[in-house]
Structure 1
Amino acid sequence: MRTLDVHPIIDNARFTPFHWMVMAWCGLLLIFDGYDLFIYGVVLPVIMKEWGLTPLQAGALGSYALFGMMFGALVFGSLADRIGRKKGIALCFALFSTATILNGFASSPSEFGIYRFIAGLGCGGLMPNAVALMNEYAPKRLRSTLVAIMFSGYSMGGMLSAGVGIFMLPRFGWESMFFAAAVPLLLLPVILYYLPESIGFLVRQGRTDEARALLKKLDPACDIQPGDTLQATDRKGGGNAVVELFRNGLAVRTLALWLAFFCCLLMVYALSSWLPKLMANAGYSLGSSLSFLLV
């Protein structure tokens, strides 16, 4: 009888179709996530005109989803450690898809903002859980590459949102953009069927048979005997206070990284929210304005 740590097995595994499957499903989840986040910028010119919103009101309305993302990442990231990545992803996915559909029924800016905040909770929670699941299953030498490829689904979701808007907005109205979220929701059972649970979580929960089956799919060459005991060593280092980021000459580097991330996110979310409206004000048609967002 041996005691095997699952992490070295995963780190040293050869790249197999199983890894492709995990990356594809996680990438698909982020496509839907990106669609939901970019959709506000697509419909903004129309709802500002229909509801008579000022730029200040429209900006506040767009920020509700971002506040929801912040709280969702904090809450659902920790919750998934207890209930499992798969359940955490399913909960977040169902939450933001349902809230997005309800946005299509909103009859006032206040109601719209509430649904956007709820959708933001799900979007913010899904992203770190999908990244963590991909990170856990990826071989060590390919981890950064696979996570980066998977994360491109977020941008593809934004492109999908703009493309769908060019076709649907002039024909079916802004509500149809949110009703389209029913399609991903219908795929949820299929995604849950194929998406694997975290192996580390299964081992910690004593579900060793499921963990063995996943390890064999991940690395068919691994030699796991029926009597072997599996363990998942916690690879997290000891916790440090945030103040440590500002000691030993790290203060300037820490602030520079924070500023860089702030500027990048400001640019991404500002452009995704306001670019179609700005181009419409410049005299472009709705379809042409959305094509700028697609680019």
Structure 2
Amino acid sequence: MRTLDVNALIDGARFNSFHGRLLFWCALIIVFDGYDLVIYGVVLPALMQDWGLSAVEAGFLGSCALFGMMLGALFFGPLSDRIGRRKTIMACVVLFSGFTVINAFARTPVEFALCRFVAGLGIGGVMPNVVALMNEYAPKKMRSTLVAVMFSGYSLGGMLSAGLGMLLMPRWGWQAVFLVAVIPLLILPLLVRQLPESLNFLVRKGQLDRARGLLQKVAPDYRPQAEEQLYLGQGPARKVSVLQVLQEGRSLKTLMLWLAFFCCLLMVYALSSWLPKLMHSAGYGLNSSLAFLLVLNVGAIFGAIGGGWLGDRIGLERVLLGFFALGALSLSLLALKSPLWVLYLLIAIAGASTIGTQILANACAVQFYPPHIRSTGLGWAMGVGRTGAIIGPLLGGALHGAQLPLQVSFLAFAVPGVIGVLAMLVFSGRPPARQPSPVPAAKHPQVEQR
């Protein structure tokens, strides 16, 4: 009987059509996930005008989806470690797409807030699961890059929101932008067929034939043998608890990761929610204000892909440290009066180093935690970080409501970047304690013969 080291087989695999299809479908989910989230910043000026909302009320309305995202990440992350990532992802897609469409028919701020909250549950729940799924199947040498490319779909979704807002809102009002969210529901049958299940989950449930079939797609040269055992590196626990992410020397690093997520998400959602409104108040027209949001997300794509490429070469921890510093610097410089082209450049850099940083932080988290608690670890990091996402729109609303200069808002948004630098310094300072492997080291990088 032989034991196959599944992780070694996946790590050494070459990128093929299976990885390409997985990347496409996971990225497509993230595109609409980002669309459904960024859409609030696009419609915010119109909502404030139609419903006569104050800045504080608008900030609270923006935080409803983010509060739902926090609960969704905390609930659906651990749930997927129990019932599988595939079922969890499908349920989340139905939630965030369905209730975003229903948002178009909201007649009052209360109805709008309720729909945003439920949609937020799905948005927050799907993110850690698609990231963990992509990370699980990606070859080691390009893992950070593939996760970053996949998650740049979030920025594409943000660009789609801004672009369609500029096109649809002048003709059909803010409601039309929400109706576009029906597309993921229409392609749901394709998602059900195309997305694979987590290998870790299949092995835990004893579905070894399905697991071997997926391994043949990951590595076409692999040939299963009779009575072959699949080894995943650790004996996965039947019940997954948040306490497990704090064990085996991970407590300090986990806390610093949570703090980094908090700071990054505060910057991301303060900017995404209030950038168009801040620029509109500064004298720019609605389409010009939405163009700033477009530039923010274009910068995020370059930041995520470039940062992922660097992460595969010098380590994600170093890249995140530099990106937090760059984010704090670019937001501070936005507080200065600058020519329009400089303003666009700084906003692009801010997008690269805030939204891009969050994308890379997701990749860092899934690589930090072992497979059997990966969704739980990322789910809790994103869930705790969502408190920053909730505070971000509220902070922007409070600053705008106080009628403070535009520069004060950008300086306030830069402070979390400095704290993020300190958190990543501590995170990268000490490796977690290594536990002895339950299986002797194999002579072959993939297989141990018994």
TM-score, normalising length: structure 2? 0.60
Distance 1:239 1:254, change over 3 A: closer
Query: Which AA in structure 1 matches 2:117?
Result: F
Quick one: distance in 1 between partners of 2:245 and 2:162? 42
User: How big is the shift at 1:285?
Assistant: 2.5
Partner of residue 279, structure 1: 279
**C-alpha separation in 2, matches of 1:13 and 1:279:** 48
- 1:131 corresponding residue in structure 2: 131
Q: Which whole-Å CA distance do the structure 1 matches of 2:205 and 2:216 have between them? A: 19
Shift in alpha-carbon separation, 1:134–1:282, aligned structure 2, 3 A: same
The residue aligned with 1:121 is 121
Q: Secondary structure at the match of 1:225?
A: coil
**Is the Cα contact below 8 Å between 1:204 and 1:232 reproduced in 2?**
no
The amino acid that maps onto 2:7 is H
Query: Which residue does 2:186 correspond to in 1?
Result: 186
Q: For residues 239 and 92 of structure 1, do their structure 2 counterparts lie closer, same or farther at Cα, with a shift above 3 Å needed?
A: closer
Corresponding residue for 2:294?
294
Distance 1:208 1:101 in 2: 39
Number of residue pairs aligned between Structure 1 and Structure 2: 289
Partner Cα distance (2:77, 2:233) in 1: 20
* Whole-angstrom distance in 1 between the partners of 2:12 and 2:31: 29
Alignment partners' CA distance in 1, 2:52 and 2:235: 53
Superposition map of 1:33-112 within 5 A: 33-112=33-112
Amino acid at match of 2:115: Y
Shift of 1:142: 1.7
What is the CA–CA distance in structure 1 between the aligned matches of 2:202 and 2:232, rounded to whole Å? Answer: 9
Q: Distance in 2 between matches of 1:131 and 1:186?
A: 23
CA deviations 1:58-84 (Å, max 9, x no partner) are: 000000111111110010001111111
User: How far did 1:228 drift?
Assistant: 2.2
SS of 1:46's equivalent in the other structure is helix
3-state SS of paired residue (1:181): helix
In structure 2, the CA distance between the partners of 1:242 and 1:7, relative to structure 1 (3 Å rule), is closer
For 2:235 and 2:147, the matched residues in 1 are separated by 18
Which one has more relative contact order, counting CA pairs under 8 Å at least 6 apart?
Answer: 1
Mapping 1:135-284, distance limit 5 Å: 135-234=135-234, 239-240=245-246, 245=251, 260-284=260-284
Q: Specify the SS of the correspondent of 1:283.
A: coil
Q: Distance in 2 between matches of 1:254 and 1:29?
A: 29
Q: 2:107, 2:88 → 1: CA distance?
A: 31
Supply the distance in 2 between the matched residues of 1:262 and 1:269 (Cα, whole angstroms): 11
Question: In 2, distance between residues paired with 1:142 and 1:54?
Answer: 47
Residue 274 (structure 1) shift: 1.1
Structure-2 change in CA distance of 1:241 and 1:16 (3 Å): closer
Task: Return the alpha-carbon distance in structure 2 between the equivalents of residues 180 and 220 of structure 1.
Answer: 38
2:12–2:140: 8 Å Cα contact kept in structure 1? Answer: yes
Could you tell me how far apart the structure 2 residues matched to 1:213 and 1:242 are?
33
Deviation (angstroms), 1:284: 2.6
| 2:13 aligned residue | 13
Q: Deviations over 1:186-232 (max 9, x none)?
A: 11111221111111211222222221211111101112124423344
Aligned CA distance change for structure 1 residues 216 and 178 (closer, same or farther; 3 Å) = same
* SS in structure 2 at match of 1:180: helix
Q: Residues 287 and 21 from structure 1, CA distance in 2 versus in 1: closer, same or farther, beyond 3 angstroms?
A: same
- Cα–Cα, structure 1 residues 219 and 243, in superposed 2: closer, same or farther, change >3 Å? closer
Q: Deviations over 1:76-131 (max 9, x none)?
A: 00111111111111111110101101111110001100111111111110000001
Q: 1:153-210 CA distances to partner (integer Å, 9 max, x unpaired)? A: 1111111110111111111111111111011211111122111111121122222222
Q: Which segment is superposed worse, 161-170 or 201-210?
A: 201-210
How much has 1:280 moved relative to structure 2?
A: 2.2
% identical equivalent positions: 60
| Equivalent pair of 1:204/1:231 in contact (CA under 8 Å) | no
- The code of the aligned residue for 1:18 comes to F
User: How many angstroms apart in 2 are the aligned matches of 1:153 and 1:34?
Assistant: 7
Q: Counterpart of 2:16 in structure 1: which amino acid?
A: T
Preserved contact between residue 203 and residue 230 of structure 2 (Cα < 8 Å): yes
Q: Secondary structure at the match of 1:196?
A: coil
Residue type of the alignment partner of 1:53? L
Further displaced range: 225-234 or 212-221: 225-234
SS at match of 1:106: coil
CA-based RMSD of the aligned residues comes to 2.3
CA contact (8 A) 1:30 1:153 kept: yes
Closer, same or farther: CA 245–231 of 1 in aligned 2, 3 Å: closer
Aligned mates of 1:243, 1:81 — CA distance in 2: 21
Equivalents in 1 of 2:269, 2:50: separation in Å?
A: 23
Letter aligned with residue 195 of structure 1: L
1:83–1:241 distance in 2 versus 1, CA, 3 Å: closer
